[in-house]
Amino acid sequence: MRRRAAEFRRPQRRRFSGWIWWMLGAFFVVGLFMFVIHHHHHEDTFRPPLMETSPEIEEATESSLNYTQELLSSTSFARQLTDQMALAKTYVVMAKEHNNLRLAWELSSQIRNSQRLLSQAAVRGQAVSLEEAHPIIRKLSQLIYKAQDSHYDISTTITTLKKHVQALEERFNAATVQSAAYGELAAEAVPKNLHCLHVKLTMEWFRNPSLRKLAEEQRNSPRLVDNNLYHFCVFSDNVLATSVVVNSTVSTADHPQQFVFHVVTNRVNYQAMAAWFLMNDFKGCTVEVRVIEELNWLNASYSPLLKQLLSEEGTSKGEVNFRHPNAPSLLNNLRFYVPELLPLLEKVVFLDDDVVVQKDLTLLFSLDLHGNVNGAVETCLEAFHRFYKYLNFSNPLISSKFDPQACAWAFGMNIFDLISWKKANLTARYHYWLEQNTDRMLWKTGTLPPGLLTFYGLVEPLDRRWHVLGLGYDMDIDDRLIESAAVLHFSGHLKPWMRLAIGRYKSLWERYINYSHPHLRDCIVH
């Protein structure tokens, strides 16, 4: 084989000795080490100084993440999103009005995306970034422009929204009326446990002839007309509620043996009511139970209320059906006939069946009423408890005789001077106003409006602590006011014997119920 010429041969590869390689490796390691040291020194030099964490700084940090401020800022993306959402919601309504469901769906979808983004930003405590907000803002802007291009101009939008507002107001008013009607039905309805008690007491009345004999003897008791005693009247068809009124009144009195209660109920509940008060002793007081149907003077020829009830029934009979749905109002309106009911008495304290007495009420009988008929607590600390709230002052019959700013007062705990009542002939005045309101144009319902008219100018204001109202609807009554009150009134639809009662006040009523009584133990689950 021929060998190449010398000039064409590859040069022989030279090899470095081992010590040179070691020196190069050492220089590389030292250089790398110096670079790392220099880099860390540079970072330490320019690192911002650490600050001590203090409560003030932490509070400032938290406030810097306050999302409410972010929404209020005119330059934040969150503010832009909320503004666009408000406009987009308006166009959703407009699009639905014009049956453009596709546009309404697209707007709603972007609104949900905006809400989701704002919610995520609020949770993490960071502002909405441009990258997050831009796609949604851009899409919403396009849809809003599209809506505007569909001739949803400002005037059309305002007109449509005004119609919606009016429709919502009408629905709200209808719901308010319906709610009030349902509330009245619930308040008047007898719970199952109370119905059980009534049934058991009625059975006891027919099973025990001694109760009937004792009731007959009590009708002729001289205590019933003794003006040296303290007389109270309660008109109710609720046995347990009436029992609480009587029990709380005598429990807080120094001399309960001097108390006489005149209870009037209807024929359906008479046996249960009479049996209960004859079977139980209420610290020696006297409790008379009467039937409203047996009040011969209370007839359609005398009372416009009964005459109106007969006309509503559409009957020509002279007898009123006390099982008529409006018949319970007769017991409520019996408060206007106290002088006829108790003709030989001079002063009487009227108590509603939804009150609890906490103080001795005998002082009421010694109060100077200054010639007035009705001692009552005024309720005009708030503006809406004035005459214009209860009466129709657009009617000249009202506006010409009464001051719309006159202070209203409370029915439910009242001291009546029956002598002054008869002198002023107030029952006839009450009848006059009933006859003027046959079309219900002066007031709608209730006993307070005719009471305001009947006792106008003849009301003696009592100290507010005598009568505290609202325990049937107001959940925020001051504890100090409750503690100082002589009478607590569960006015409102949330009565204490109902499951819907306000729990905070229920014990004030229940402490005057003896749940160990056999009939109560069988009927009422406590």
The predicted-structure confidence for 396-431, as pLDDT tens digits, reads as follows 999 999 999 999 999 999 999 999 999 999 999 999
Long-range contacts of 156-162 (CB under 8 A, 24+ apart): 156/94, 157/90, 157/91, 157/94, 160/93, 160/94, 160/97, 161/90, 161/93
As a whole number, the mean pLDDT across the chain is: 82
**Predicted pLDDT of residue 522:** 85
Instruction: Give me the mean pLDDT over the 428-453 stretch.
Output: 94
C-alpha–C-alpha distance, residues 231 and 224, integer Å: 8
Which token pair is 378? Answer: 């005024």
**Predicted pLDDT of residue 45:** 41
**Predicted pLDDT of residue 184:** 52
Kindly state the DSSP code that residue 274 receives in the 8-state scheme: H
Report the run of H or E that residue 289 belongs to, with start and end. strand 286-291
Query: Could you tell me the end-to-end alpha-carbon distance of the chain, in angstroms, rounded to an integer?
Result: 124
Confidence class of residue 176 from pLDDT cuts 50, 70 and 90? Answer: low
Question: Is the pLDDT higher at 197 or at 92?
Answer: 197
pTM (2 decimals)?
A: 0.66
| pLDDT at 154 > cutoff 70 | no
C-alpha–C-alpha distance, residues 146 and 45, integer Å: 57
Picking from 70, 74, 85, the residue whose alpha carbon sits closest to that of residue 121 is 70
Which token pair is 340? Answer: 């006829």
Confidence class of residue 52 from pLDDT cuts 50, 70 and 90? Answer: very low
Kindly state the DSSP code that residue 435 receives in the 8-state scheme: H
| pLDDT at 33 > cutoff 70 | no
Picking from 431, 452, 436, 428, the residue whose alpha carbon sits closest to that of residue 304 is 431
Q: Which one of 19-23, 39-43, 59-63, 490-494 scores highest in mean pLDDT? A: 490-494
Share of the chain above pLDDT 90, in %: 52
487-489 and 355-357 beta bridge pairing? antiparallel
C-alpha–C-alpha distance, residues 82 and 42, integer Å: 46
**Predicted pLDDT of residue 102:** 85
Instruction: Give me the mean pLDDT over the 439-465 stretch.
Output: 95
**Predicted pLDDT of residue 166:** 74
Question: Is the pLDDT higher at 312 or at 274?
Answer: 274
pLDDT tens digits for range 201-257: 999 999 999 999 999 999 989 999 999 999 999 999 999 999 999 999 999 999 999
Instruction: Give me the mean pLDDT over the 491-506 stretch.
Output: 92
Instruction: Give me the mean pLDDT over the 477-504 stretch.
Output: 93
Question: Is the pLDDT higher at 345 or at 522?
Answer: 345
Which token pair is 166? Answer: 């009016």
Report whether 88 contacts 143 (CB < 8 A). yes
Query: 181-190, 287-296, 441-450 — which is least confidently predicted?
Result: 181-190
